[in-house]
Amino acid sequence: MSKAITVIGLGNMGSALARRFLAGGHPTTVWNRTAAKAEPLRAAGATVAPNAASAIASTPISVVCLERHDHVVEILQAADPEKVLAGRTIVNLTLGTASDARSLAAWLTECGARLLDGMIHNYPADLGTPSSLISYAGERSVYDANQALLSAIAPARYLGPDIAAANVVGSAGAAFHNLALGAFYEAVAYADQFGVTPATLLEVIEGHGLELLRSRFRYGVDSIERGDYATDQAAIRTHYDAACMARDDMRQIGQPADLTTAFCQMLQSVISAGDGNLEIAALYNRLRNSG
């Protein structure tokens, strides 16, 4: 059954969300500060609201996808909360912190509204594909009532009642993703200096490196859950020696090796603490307890 939905924020991701709702047959109202961004969606069948308040008031549920959490608060607070927000559901898909999610949930509750906080785990072009995913946190009843509608944009996963969970997963996932991207291009730039093309290195990584990572992640999580970091495989010292060799060679050819240097420093701190012979998952305990 089609349900009406509002999308606030029409950047690359917000526009993609609105198009997915329209493709699913859901009447979709949109609003964006820069009105011109709404015109392609009007042509695709969306209703363009004149302001955020009227957009939110037009449907029982609104998806908000903006660049910054502060923008979410600003727009919602300016939308005459007592009249507009009461009785409505806000689905916030804007990246923020755990405290951002909790403060927004508390304020919306005071306004008589309900919040689902979500995290998009893909780029706009991936929405709706089998590999796409959006995680949600908040009251189970709110998630259950809207799960079918939200599945129109991507497969949905419920993380639990802690409203902060989606932002925590999102921030952790973004940290890993961004560092992995940086490490890939640092490696590509290094290999290219010796005549190994980016395409060749990618072929090796796709054919072997990614599955090796998956295997080590699984092994590492198992070590964490067991609390046992003894290993007969590559210990932290082995990883350190390999990383330092790569760092030094990068510097020899004038490459800054920023990420590799940081990794060497991370491992050095564990070795200095006497844990160099442990499985690299032992980093978890040191990082977790460093505060």
Domain count across the chain = 2
Residues 64 and 144 reside in one and the same domain: yes
Q: Predicted confidence band at 81 (pLDDT cuts at 50, 70, 90)?
A: confident
Determine the Cα–Cα distance for residues 202 and 131; give it in Å rounded to an integer: 20
Residue 61 lies in a domain: yes
Residue 184 lies in a domain: no
Question: What pLDDT was estimated at residue 61?
Answer: 98
Assigned domain for 229 exists? yes
Same domain for 226 and 131?
no
pTM over 0.85: yes
175: in domain: no
Percent of the chain beyond pLDDT 70?
99
Strands 134-137 and 114-120 come out as antiparallel
Same-domain pairing of 10 and 154: yes
pLDDT tens per residue across span 7-65: 999 999 999 999 999 999 999 999 999 999 999 999 999 999 999 999 999 999 999 99
Degrees (nearest 5) of the Cα angle 181, 259, 170? 45
Is residue 200 over pLDDT 60? yes
Looking at residue 254, which CATH number applies to its domain? 1.10.1040.10
115-150 confidence digits (pLDDT tens): 999 999 999 999 989 889 999 999 999 999 999 999
Query: Does 266 lie in the same domain as 135?
Result: no
* End position of a domain, from candidates 113, 139, 161: 161
**Same-domain check for residues 19 and 139:** yes
Please tell me the distance from the alpha carbon of residue 18 to that of residue 63, in angstroms, as a whole number: 9
Is the CA virtual torsion 121, 59, 56, 102 positive or negative?
negative
Give the CATH number, domain containing residue 127: 3.40.50.720
Pair 144, 29 in one domain: yes
Tell me the two tokens of residue 48. Answer: 């363009």
Asked whether 105 and 89 are in contact (CB, 8 A), the reply is: no
Same domain, 19 and 157: yes
Chain Cα centroid distance, residue 61: 22
Alpha helices in 49-93 (DSSP H): 52-57, 69-77, 81-84
Residue 179 CA to residue 146 CA, distance in Å, equals 34
Tell me if 277 is assigned to some domain. Answer: yes
Name the H helices within 24-158.
39-43, 52-57, 69-77, 81-84, 98-110, 140-150
215 and 120 share one domain: no
| Inter-residue contact 6 to 56 (CB < 8 Å) | yes
Quote the CA–CA distance of 17 and 4 in Å, as a whole number. Answer: 14
Q: How far apart are CA 196 and CA 217, in angstroms?
A: 27
Amino acid letter at 59?
Answer: T
148 and 44 in one domain?
A: yes
H or E element in which residue 204 lies: helix 198-204
Residues 111 and 238 in one domain: no
Q: Are residues 144 and 206 in the same domain?
A: no
The residue range of the domain holding 125 is 5-161
Q: How confident is the model at residue 82 (pLDDT cuts 50, 70, 90)?
A: confident
Domain assignment of residue 179, yes or no: no
Please name the residues in contact with 37: beta carbons below 8 A apart, sequence gap of 6 or more.
10, 11, 15
- Identify residue 47 by its one-letter amino acid code: T
- Domain end marker among 143, 161, 179: 161
Residue 250 DSSP label: H
Q: Which residues of 118-131 are buried (b: 16+ CB within 10 A; e: fewer)?
A: bbbbbeeeebbeee
Q: Is the pLDDT of residue 291 over 60?
A: no
Where a domain ends, among 119, 140, 161? 161
**Same-domain status, 118 and 223:** no
Residue 168 in this model has a pLDDT that exceeds 60: yes
Q: Is residue 131 part of a domain?
A: yes
Inside any domain, residue 208: yes
